[in-house]
Structure 1
């Protein structure tokens, strides 16, 4: 009898403990079911960065909503900056690694009413990549791969924040 009471008391106490993230898990803002994602605006001097980033967002969001050419709701993005910063050097002061940093502003709005249902004007992400001082083309390929990874990771994180209501 004592074991049953102790077990019931333990279940009661433990069931009251729990952590959860506030927000509406699993729902897009405004219960969006379809979304159009036009090519992001590129305000940087880096060519084609908008294509890579937009493609990553389309690929990520297609798993949650129907991404279509024309929809009531539109995800607009503006790439505000694209920068490379040296982060590590050899003993002879030769750069060995760069950090790619991209910042953008994003918003989802209702095209019929103009109402913004979600916005983040300060989305920033980074990705590091190594430098091959003997082969500039290989370093450029690594930069492109870093941009692709950064874009994919950023799209996933943005979608997760939207789904959690942040």
Structure 2
């Protein structure tokens, strides 16, 4: 069970939580760049997900994020997931920043809910052509973690908090990756629409 008492009252806490959750979803969904084709959900392909690079001081955060991304790819796509670089598709990542900030306080003035923010650079590349399929140079993802009544103090490296952050991040990343790579590029849609609008010639012989 989580704490709901604070100086602002339960209603204020609920409003803050809703705002934070919505802001986190918006932040995680923006900023990607799709550069070429559909991946067909990875059918018949291998995706390499080597360990992300950790540029923060948070111990093993890159391992948690990498492992959860691999699990999510296995669960939600048809890729064969490997840990080395020898895949049809390569996903590389760098953990650029991590921070935890109190957003709700109890009657004693201590934080009872924290927003955890992680910034990650993600790039997905076709190993055969070298083309970038998906890229986000700074993916900012937020997750709210509430302390249980038995917890006296929050630690930014809290195992349960980091594990949940990693799971939610991986779910959001893989969902966005699959949505982006299923989308048809705008120029292709415009070309197809223009061709369908032109009158078709009937009975015209093919000239050699």
TM over 0.5: yes
Q: Tell me, yes or no, if structure 1 residue 76 matches structure 2 residue 92.
A: yes
Q: Unpaired runs of 5+ in structure 1?
A: 1-23
Query: What CA distance in whole angstroms lies between the structure 2 residues aligned with 1:59 and 1:126?
Result: 20
Asked whether 1:153 is paired with 2:157, we answer: no
Q: Give CA-to-partner distance per residue, 1:121-148, whole Å, 9 cap, x none.
A: 2322222223479655xx4499321221
Q: Which of the numbers 114, 137, 148 marks the counterpart of 2:130? A: 114
Shift of 1:110: 2.5
Count the aligned residue pairs: 140
Q: Which residue of structure 1 aligns with residue 81 of structure 2? A: 67
Structure 1 segments of 4+ aligned residues over 6 angstroms from their partners: none
| Match runs of 1:98-113 below 5 Å | 98-113=114-129
- Relative to structure 1, is the Cα distance of residues 27 and 162 closer, same or farther in structure 2, using a 3 angstrom cutoff? farther
Unaligned runs of 5+ in 2: 1-36, 182-208
* 1:37 and 2:37 correspond: no
Aligned residue for 2:59, secondary structure, equals: coil
Judge conservation of contact 1:108–1:117 (CA < 8 Å) in 2. Answer: yes
Report SS of the residue matched to 1:87: strand
Cα deviations by residue, 1:74-123 (Å, 9 ceiling, x for unpaired)? 10011111001011112332222221111101011123443211111232
Q: Using the alignment, how far apart are the partners of 2:177 and 2:102 within structure 1?
A: 32
2:102 pairs with one of 52, 71, 86:
86
Aligned-residue CA RMSD in angstroms? 2.8
Relative to its length, the structure with more strand (as a share) is 1
TM-score w.r.t. the length of structure 1 is 0.71
- Compute the TM-score of the two structures, normalised by the length of structure 2: 0.58
Residues 76 and 26 (structure 1), Cα distance of their counterparts in 2 relative to 1, 3 Å cut: closer
Deviation at 1:56, TM superposition (A): 0.2
CA contact (8 A) 2:59 2:157 kept: no
